[in-house]
Amino acid sequence: DARVTQTPRHKVTEMGQEVTMRCQPILGHNTVFWYRQTMMQGLELLAYFRNRAPLDDSGMPKDRFSAEMPDATLATLKIQPSEPRDSAVYFCASGYRGLTDTQYFGPGTRLTVL
């Protein structure tokens, strides 16, 4: 049963600290997405990659957020420096464009910035 995995599942940090969230997409999927979920904004797309190349990061605050795919099995989302307003659940999703066109979500990372 292939699944998207995310680490850590929970993260509590203090304002100003760097936060790194990791995602392992489903093997064989060529597209990876990062979303943020808050009560106020709902689910927002932050960025996504196809075949490890960034396609769109327009939803991401550029000054503090960065997303990368060092290899096909790992996607990272970094926040530096973190702020209390970054507190949210961050989801990674993967899919295979052109085949299933369905996004499968990981369990999320719940981030709390104090």
Partner 1 sequence: AQKVTQAQTEISVVEKEDVTLDCVYETRDTTYYLFWYKQPPSGELVFLIRRNSFDEQNEISGRYSWNFQKSTSSFNFTITASQVVDSAVYFCALSGYNTDKLIFGTGTRLQVFP
Q: Give residues in contact with partner 1 (CB under 8 A).
A: 31, 33, 42-43, 45, 48, 50, 55-56, 89, 91, 93, 97, 100-108, 110
Q: Which is nearer to partner 1, 52 or 81 (CB)?
A: 52
Decide if 15 contacts 81 (C-beta within 8 A): yes
Q: Which is nearer to partner 1, 59 or 81 (CB)?
A: 59
Supply the minimum distance, in Å, between the C-beta of residue 76 and partner 1: 19
3-state secondary structure of 42: strand
Q: Which is nearer to partner 1, 65 or 91 (CB)?
A: 91
Supply the minimum distance, in Å, between the C-beta of residue 14 and partner 1: 23
Supply the minimum distance, in Å, between the C-beta of residue 107 and partner 1: 5
Work out the number of other CB atoms within 10 angstroms of the CB of residue 97.
Answer: 12
Burial environment of residue 105 by CB neighbours within 10 A (0 to 12, 13 to 18, 19 or more): middle
Q: Please state, in angstroms and rounded to a whole number, the distance separating the CA atoms of residues 97 and 30.
A: 7
